[in-house]
Chain A
Amino acid sequence: AQSVTQPDIHITVSEGASLELRCNYSYGATPYLFWYVQSPGQGLQLLLKYFSGDTLVQGIKGFEAEFKRSQSSFNLRKPSVHWSDAAEYFCAVGAQGGANNLFFGTGTRLTVIP
């Protein structure tokens, strides 16, 4: 069965610093991977997704993620964090076999300090 692990519950970075959020997945075949962001009291906004092809994926708001099959990872990066990036970030893997649902990690809460 698919599963996602986000090892960091909470990360604090200074504004302008670089960011990397970790995500590891468990699935035998090529996974469909997503990163979503959730601001307090809001729904989930899609940042980027990986289905196949180029392993470096560009998303919105200056985010990118790299799929590494050998490490079963899909880490999210941003070169320079802005205060508005403070939110909770969720990595997810798509179900296979005709199902349409997502399996989410537990999330990483990002705090940005000025």
Chain B
Amino acid sequence: KAGVTQTPRYLIKTRGQQVTLSCSPISGHRSVSWYQQTPGQGLQFLFEYFSETQRNKGNFPGRFSGRQFSNSRSEMNVSTLELGDSALYLCASSKRTGGAGETQYFGPGTRLLVL
């Protein structure tokens, strides 16, 4: 079974631009979560999408948004990029069967550099 895939793997943008990252979950997984990883703040939860709806959101500004499609693929968008948005963005998928403590499986990440 193929794992979680993320595209692109690397991205360079300049301040003020916007960016869209893509994530394809493991087949059969309906939940996609996004995390930001930086040296200073570590791994922080951005949001979760399930059944095309945002179910949970971390403490990030509104410049960070996402969506999920009917095939469970998800995109996240960051508008008006700032230098501090440079990070590794990780996507994770899970089955979301309703049970507690489901395992999340992570993709390789997209490394975003904002100049």
**Which of the candidate stretches B11-19, B62-70, B77-85, B106-114 sits at the interface with the other chain?**
B106-114
What is the CB-to-nearest-CB distance from B30 to chain A, in angstroms, rounded to a whole number?
11
Q: Which of chain B's residues has its CB closest to A46's CB? A: B103
Q: Of residues 47 to 103 in B, which have CB atoms within 8 Å of A's CB atoms?
A: 48, 50, 55-56, 58, 90, 92, 94, 96, 100-103
**Residues of B within 8 A of A (CB-CB), count:** 29
What is the CB-to-nearest-CB distance from B67 to chain A, in angstroms, rounded to a whole number?
17
Q: How far is the CA of A96 from the CA of B105 in the complex (A)?
A: 18
Out of B6, B102, B105, B109, name the residue touching A100 (CB < 8 Å). B102
Q: Is A106 part of the contact surface with B, judged by Cβ < 8 Å?
A: yes
Q: Is A113 part of the contact surface with B, judged by Cβ < 8 Å?
A: no
Q: Is A74 part of the contact surface with B, judged by Cβ < 8 Å?
A: no
What is the CB-to-nearest-CB distance from A51 to chain B, in angstroms, rounded to a whole number?
5
**Residues of A within 8 A of B (CB-CB), count:** 25
Q: A101-B45, A104-B42 are known contacts. Are A36 and B101 too (CB-CB below 8 A)?
A: no
Q: A43-B90, A51-B101, A94-B100 are known contacts. Are A101 and B108 too (CB-CB below 8 A)?
A: no
The count of A-to-B residue pairs whose CB atoms sit within 8 angstroms is 62
Q: A90-B43, A107-B42 are known contacts. Are A102 and B104 too (CB-CB below 8 A)?
A: yes
Out of B33, B55, B101, B106, name the residue touching A43 (CB < 8 Å). B106
Most chain B beta-carbon contacts within 10 A, residue among A36, A101, A102: A101
Q: How far is the CA of A80 from the CA of B6 in the complex (A)?
A: 34
Q: Of residues 43 to 102 in A, which have CB atoms within 8 Å of B's CB atoms?
A: 43-46, 49, 51, 90, 92, 94-96, 99-102
What is the CB-to-nearest-CB distance from B105 to chain A, in angstroms, rounded to a whole number?
7
Q: Which of chain A's residues has its CB closest to B9's CB? A: A41
5 of the cross-chain contacts (CB-CB < 8 Å) are: A51-B100, A96-B100, A100-B102, A100-B104, A102-B104
Interface residue ranges, A against B (CB under 8 Å):
32, 34, 36, 41-46, 49, 51, 90, 92, 94-96, 99-107
Known: A32-B100, A49-B103, A99-B56. 14 other contacts (CB 8 A): A43-B109, A44-B92, A44-B106, A45-B106, A46-B103, A51-B101, A92-B43, A95-B56, A100-B48, A100-B55, A101-B58, A102-B45, A102-B92, A104-B44
